[in-house]
Amino acid sequence: MTPFVSVIVPCRNEAVYLGACLDSILRSDYPPLRMEVLVADGRSEDGTQALIEQYAARDARVRHIDNPERVTPVALNRGILAARGEIVMRLDAHATIAADYMSLAVEYLKSSGADSVGGSMRTLPQGAGPFAEPIRIVLTHRFGVGNSHFRTGTGSPRWVDTVFGGCWRREIFDRVGLFNEKLERSQDLEFSLRLRRAGGKILLVPDMETRYYARATLAGFWRHNWINGVWAVLPFAYSSGVPVRWRHLVPLIFVTALIGSAFTRGVAWIAAPYMLLTLAASFQAACRERKFGLALRLPVAFASLHLAYGAGSLWGAIRLAGIKVRRMGPVGNRPQVGNLPYNGTK
């Protein structure tokens, strides 16, 4: 029998984008009677709840899940506990999927031996503006995001450390546990790490396509990267081992070195090579896109990603030091959600 799929969409104040997200799921070529959509809303205040109710009223596959804590891992955990599916999938409200995304996910979960599969991300700007296109390019360039293959692309299926739009076998959560509810961000990275430590395998399938709508303004991009940077470091307070990949810590090392070199009058030794690399990457990207006018804006977009992320990580490191000093949370205090234990805290 065709496996039942439960799609969990965590959201809060996403009235602008949620409709397109839900439409893409409901238009999937997957058998309609073998799927459901659980929208876990963090008590939105912008009309998102009314939108969910409209979809639920006209399509029985859509269900509303309350998320009183208003953070993503709680939304995911509540969705998992309410899910009826043998396959559980996550999709962010800022994203849409191709019609065959779920069908391919189920097919590859059956044939590859993977415990989790996900697709390639096609990044698109949320709107227009002078930095909308540079931001999109930066988020798909190796100099911008490193070896994040679901962002930069891959020619064939490959084993990776994490994916976007993940689809998991339901029993994985019985074996590995749920998402760490203390992690407002990076909970997917930490979960993927626990999955791989338990012997699980994660497969990136480029034929499975998602569309993700990135920030289009420099201010929004800076804020988003700052927050992501903070949560590249704070997971160390609530997880065992190294809960993120080393590429997420490179901006922290760069910004720390830049600040440190300023006190020794050696800032040029750090800044000059970075500027040269940024200019080279910007020129290469502009040539690739055949939009040479972008070469002047791309360095600003690259720096906005690296500096904001690194500065956020530095602030996260300061907060982490304070947490460690105060010893927040007793060792071994592991929260439970329903009957599935979270197995990742110290």
- Residues in CB range of 57: below 8 A, 6 or more apart: none
CB 278 within 8 A of CB 299: yes
Mean pLDDT of the chain: 90
pLDDT digits (tens, 9 = 90+) for 251-288: 999 999 999 998 888 888 899 999 999 999 999 999 99
pLDDT digits (tens, 9 = 90+) for 179-221: 999 998 889 989 998 999 999 999 999 999 999 999 899 999 9
Q: What domains are defined for the chain?
A: 5-216 (3.90.550.10)
- Residues in CB range of 30: below 8 A, 6 or more apart: 5, 102, 103, 106
* First-last CA distance in the chain: 40
Q: What is the pLDDT of residue 344?
A: 41
Q: What is the pLDDT of residue 327?
A: 64
CB 192 within 8 A of CB 161: yes
% of residues, the chain, pLDDT over 90: 75
Q: Give the closest residue to 252 by CA, choosing from 306, 186, 188.
A: 306
pLDDT at 346 exceeding the cut of 90? no
Burial of 343 by CB count in 10 Å (0-12 exposed, 13-18 middle, 19+ buried)?
Answer: middle
Pairwise CA distance, residues 295 & 318, whole Å = 35
Of the pLDDT bands very low, low, confident and very high (cuts 50, 70, 90), residue 340 is very low
Calculate the alpha carbon distances from 203 to 120, 130, 198 in Å. 11, 36, 15
Backbone Cα Rg of the chain: 20
Q: What is the pLDDT of residue 329?
A: 53
Pairwise CA distance, residues 283 & 286, whole Å = 5
Of the pLDDT bands very low, low, confident and very high (cuts 50, 70, 90), residue 71 is very high
| pTM, to two decimals | 0.86
DSSP 211: E
CB 219 within 8 A of CB 126: no
pLDDT digits (tens, 9 = 90+) for 89-106: 999 999 999 999 999 999
pLDDT digits (tens, 9 = 90+) for 144-164: 998 888 888 888 999 998 899
Calculate the alpha carbon distances from 171 to 86, 115, 200, 239 in Å. 8, 9, 12, 22
User: Given CA atoms 89, 93, 95, 96 in this order, what sign does their dihedral have?
Assistant: positive
pLDDT at 76 exceeding the cut of 90? yes
Half-sphere exposure of residue 39: CA atoms within 13 angstroms, side-chain side = 31
Calculate the alpha carbon distances from 315 to 49, 214, 252, 296 in Å. 34, 24, 10, 29
DSSP 113: -
SS3 for 60?
coil
pLDDT digits (tens, 9 = 90+) for 131-143: 999 999 999 999 9
Question: If you average pLDDT over residues 100-119, what whole number do you get?
Answer: 95
Q: What is the pLDDT of residue 330?
A: 52
Q: What is the pLDDT of residue 231?
A: 92
Q: What is the pLDDT of residue 240?
A: 72
Tokens of 300: 């600003």
